[in-house]
Amino acid sequence: MYPTASKSSAVGESALEMSAAQAGMALGCAYSSSAEFDAALIADRRAAGVYGPRRYRQRMVTAAAVVAALATISLILGAD
């Protein structure tokens, strides 16, 4: 009535145990929190150029132009 254990079922059990062991190893994570994972992900994406170049130079040039324009206006208005 009941099937007897055979060599194929023993092989199946060892394959199942090996799969379970491999699945258990896959659960380990190198990051201790989601914030650490997100920071590493963003750093990798920035290194790959996903977010594009940083705009610091453009901001500095704009700020310098505004300061120069204000200095010019103050000199013009102060000359009167």
Distance of CA 1 to the CA centre of its chain: 57
The three-point CA angle 57-60-63 to 5° equals 150
Q: Looking at the 3D structure of the chain, how many domains does it have?
A: 1
32 contacts 40 by C-beta, under 8 angstroms: no
In a domain, 51, yes or no: yes
pLDDT for residue 66:
97
Predicted local distance difference test score (pLDDT) of residue 30: 77
pLDDT value of residue 22: 73
pLDDT in tens, the chain (80 residues): 555 555 556 667 888 888 877 766 656 677 788 899 999 999 999 888 887 777 788 889 999 999 999 999 999 998 76
Q: What is the structure's pLDDT at 55?
A: 72
Q: Is residue 28 part of a domain?
A: yes
Q: What is the extent of the structural domain holding 18?
A: 7-79
- pLDDT recorded at residue 5: 52
